[in-house]
Amino acid sequence: MFDGFIKVAAVTPDIRVADCVHNAAQICLGMDRAVEAGAKIVVFPELCLTGYTCEDLFWQDLLVEEARHVLHQVIFHSREKDGLFFVGLPWEKGGKLYNAAAAIAGGHLLGIVPKHSLPNYREFYEARHFEPGCRKVEWVDYEGCPVPFGMNQLFVCKELEGLTVAAEICEDLWVPDPPSIAHALAGATLIVNLSASDEITGKVDYRTNLVTGQSARLVCGYLYASAGEGESTTDLVFGGHSLIAENGVLLAQSRRFSNEMVCADIDIGRLRSERRKMTTFTGRGQEEYEKIAFHLEVGETRLTRWIDPAPFVPGGREDREKRCKEILMLQAMGLKKRLEHTGCQSAVVGISGGLDSTLALLVTAKAFDLLGIPREKIMAVTMPCFGTTDRTYTNACQMAETLGAALREVDIREAVSLHFRDIGHDPECHDVTYENSQARERTQVLMDIANQMGALVIGTGDMSELALGWATYNGDHMSMYGVNASVPKTLVRHLVRYYADTCGDQKLSAILLDVLDTPVSPELLPPKDGRISQKTEDLVGPYELHDFFLYYVLRFGFTPRKIFRLARIAFAGTYEDETILQWLKKFYWRFFSQQFKRSCLPDGPKVGSVAVSPRGDLRMPSDACVRLWQEDLKGLERSIRR
């Protein structure tokens, strides 16, 4: 439960049609297995106490009375169980029968939620036996105790802030206006669905899309338990296909025709973070809901969910290539509009033979193609200085020529040396002045050439560098349009790789692959034995870690403690805990101290869910205090040392 995680389970028991005693025993066994697995919210299928396929046996008083009687056994069994359980059964009220879900916790029946949408078409005829449930909550008697009955119930956990559970039943999800919409607007972060969805060809994909889509639409966790083997096969087959989704992502699903339990970890903190940013979730209709408290033991959820070490990069090759193609187009379309608006027919790109300038040049070439402007109108400028190596210089020149851009070389060694003399700087002192003087000289050259040509200077810096402030203020920090401003470093690599794989030019592909194989470096310090001596990741840390941190800091606002916990899982076997913590501390220090650079960023297109533009995603004061985050990190440091 720490850090907002809660483990949930969907259980399909082995039932017998109309054998309530047997079914109750199987449900109790399912409760035991789920609790043993660490699950705190457990859902069973629709009408599982009797079986969904009882048909006209639902008109038999004995069956309805027996279901109500054995419910007591299930409730009693929950006394020593730490969890909230939902069990399906027929429930009689006011002389009418309802298809209902019983919410159970700690030996108590917390509420009865009736099904509203009764399918009465094709193979379904529920309206023959059941009455549609009402939203308004009334109170009914169960063994001398008043129990809320109605659809508008929210089950609120007192120990985990934000864990609010609501229920709907099978067809309720398949209709145009599912009850879960109102539930979510009223505050539910986890929707449970007790279902008896039969299997027909092709239905599995539709069902999966429906559940994952609803979780995305409502920004919630969705726990779907379906009836399986044991139901009557007189006319239908039930596969026990259970699903767990979170905000559009399928976390787990059971095998069909296996009657198994499936578990997953829902990140309630992540859902709350998402909703806080959305004006859609206003708490509308809360006054129409009955809120029922339930309690859970406080403890750490043992996480079994997969944590992606590269959250900005799709894992599958097909998805990754599709994403890369889309991002390159977004970048190019952003630049295309800026060129059209300014009337510029030419552009200036400073190329170093590194990843970022390579991507910027590729994007510029694509934008010129879209506009029908010859690529020779692109001026690729290489500006060798003290740290330039033959490898990067050669790649830069050959790349420009292969792409058909104009190439211009401006050696800035003499200009920078003169600048050192003017300001009285010892050229043997390789400090920040030594480095930044080169970066600012390069920017001046680019700006002045652009003025000569009536062109735009295209920025090359990526989002990871901007997040860390790894840019020279008014040096490579500045341009007239920054095409890479919202592309993280880990994704830059894949974009260049995608271009190399799909460009159809063997020579260009070979150049790009060599660029990918070159260490990331600003090349501001003299090389050693002709090789790059200044490797960025040795100084600021691994970009794969920083991009991971950046994603969870900006996308969800997680605490350092939670990000560290996720990073330990994502990078297990790659980085030691101490290493992760070291660079996490560095990340926060740089992220807060370098905001002033991001406050005056050039324009650039947003291409993903996270960006650092001061006009969009990150409106952060430049003098914000980092103390709170550092205190959280100190607590982590103490726990690691122990």
Q: Determine if residue 454 is left, alpha or beta; phi over 0 gives left, psi from -120 to 50 gives alpha, anything else beta.
A: left
The amino acid occupying position 313 is: V
- Is 634 assigned a catalytic role? no
d(CA 356, CA 376): 21
- Is 66 assigned a catalytic role? no
Strands (E), 143-289: 145-149, 153-157, 164-169, 190-195, 221-226, 243-246, 249-253, 261-267
Burial class (CB in 10 A: 0-12, 13-18, 19+), 422: exposed
In the block, tokens 């995305």 appear at 216
Could you tell me which of 175, 174, 191, 173 has the C-alpha nearest to residue 183?
191
d(CA 358, CA 347): 15
List b or e across 32-48, with b for residues whose CB sees 16 or more CB atoms inside 10 angstroms: ebbbebbbbbbbbbbbb
Considering the candidates 28, 40, 46, 544, report the single residue annotated as catalytic.
46
Considering the candidates 28, 170, 263, 344, report the single residue annotated as catalytic.
170
Considering the candidates 7, 81, 115, 562, report the single residue annotated as catalytic.
115
Could you tell me which of 395, 413, 411, 402 has the C-alpha nearest to residue 378?
402
The bridge status of strand 96-105 relative to strand 84-93 is: antiparallel
Q: Give 77's contacts (C-beta < 8 A, 6+ positions apart).
A: 28, 31
d(CA 600, CA 595): 9
Reading the block at residue 80, the tokens are 């020593």
Reading the block at residue 572, the tokens are 């297990």
Q: How many CB atoms lie within 10 A of CB 75?
A: 21
- Is 337 assigned a catalytic role? no
Judge contact between 240 and 256, C-beta under 8 A: yes
Catalytic residues: 46, 115, 170
